[in-house]
Amino acid sequence: MALGHTISSALIAAPLVGLGLGAEVDLVAYLSSRYFGLRSYGAIFGTIWAVFGVSGGLGAYLMGFGFDKTGSYVVPLSGFFCAAVLAAILILMLGPYRYRVGLLSDATQK
């Protein structure tokens, strides 16, 4: 989106952003249950969801601030791209998550 200046690049980028946002909410719920367990799931997921909401508001502010300072959205979008790459690297570094093997094997035996 930062480098495309045609309607065709916007028509490709918009559905990809929508798919990413749609998958993000589901993945946060799933991964937080796998990595942190279910004992305090509500508190952990609520905190993650609050940070998610605040970051959405902060992102809109940063986009406007970046546009006001540079006259374009390229700089803020490039910064968000770098943040997304960093987040993907950190998620890859999490390692295997915990789950109950017994439940999985019971389901596959039936």
- Minimum mean pLDDT range among 21-25, 29-33, 59-63, 87-91: 21-25
Under a CB-based contact definition with an 8 Å cutoff, are residues 1 and 17 in contact?
Answer: yes
Range of the domain at 23: 7-109
Whether 25 has a pLDDT exceeding 60, the answer reads: yes
78 in a structural domain: yes
Instruction: Please say if the pLDDT value at position 110 is more than 80.
Output: no
Is residue 1 in some structural domain?
no
Segment 31-70, tens digit of pLDDT: 888 888 888 888 999 999 899 889 989 999 999 999 999 9
Is residue 63 a part of any domain in this protein? yes
The pLDDT, as a whole number, for residue 12 is 85
- Picking from 44, 1, 52, 46, the residue whose alpha carbon sits closest to that of residue 24 is 52
